[in-house]
A and B are shown apart, each in its own frame.
Chain A
């Protein structure tokens, strides 16, 4: 019984894990490249959600210190996850941009964005070339 209450309390972790699985399965199973990129973004966002929610403390402020004087660490949220997530977001943006560029290039070369069709076209081209 206690684990169910515990589970209900950690509802954010449930959300982030389900989002991770949704993104993971989209990225793995879809053959359309744009959907793969969307799936990758869902996966990354879910991991960031998990990271940030581990740093949150109920009833505390964001880690921007007001005014000089003594700073009481018990008033602020844990700043480390937000610092790490800034890096994670930039990484996710860069990989997405590179993947989008490759998709545009593939569209110019093959005329389609679907990986299965691209493989068929290449196999038919290799076949008779």
Chain B
């Protein structure tokens, strides 16, 4: 769809992507401190991926989707295992992932790793939605 001579779009995307990505990561990591968390952070990360995809032309996405699906599955397996650990061995989880002082970054107990896992999953899934549905018929 997009020819090769749109240098402006590519340059703008290259400049903007790192900032969007960092903002998304910030929201995901500070889920337990500021409003946000895994879901909204993941969507912002996905938006930077989508910006990259549009700027570099909507080419075929077969292998890319499988890779994204792999990342989402691995993140979800970690999510499930942390969650199962929290259910069956609660005291062990509190020792490994301490609650810490409510206010600084590493303080949410199991909340931070879960947030990161959900951030990965939502980012990959939103990207997959865009790739598949956005592709021309």
Is any CB of A less than 8 Å from a CB of B in the complex? yes
Taking CB as reference atom, which chain A residue is nearest B35? A64
User: Which interface class (under 10, 10 to 19, 20 to 34, 35 or more) fits A?
Assistant: 10 to 19
Question: Residues of B contacting A67 with CB < 8 Å?
Answer: 103
Closest to A65 in B: B102
Q: Any chain B CB within 8 A of the CB of A4? A: no
**What is the size, in residues, of chain B's interface with A at 8 Å between Cβ atoms?**
11
- The answer to whether the Cβ of B77 comes within 8 Å of any Cβ in the partner chain is no
Does A108 count as interface, using CB distance less than 8 angstroms? yes
Contact of A86 among B39, B101, B137 (CB under 8 A): B39
| B38 nearest CB neighbor, chain A only | A86
Residues on B with C-beta less than 8 A from A125 are none
**Contact for B133 among A65, A68, A89, A101, CB less than 8 A:** A101
Assess the B137–A101 pair: CB atoms within 8 A.
Answer: no
Give the nearest-CB partner of B132 in chain A: A101
Q: Does B129 contact A (CB under 8 A)?
A: yes
In the complex, what's the smallest C-beta–C-beta distance from B23 to chain A, in angstroms? 19
B34 an interface residue at 8 Å Cβ cutoff? Answer: yes
Tell me which of A68, A90, A100 contacts B103 (CB under 8 A). A68
A residues with CB within 8 A of B: 62, 64-65, 67-68, 86, 89-90, 97, 100-101, 104, 107-108
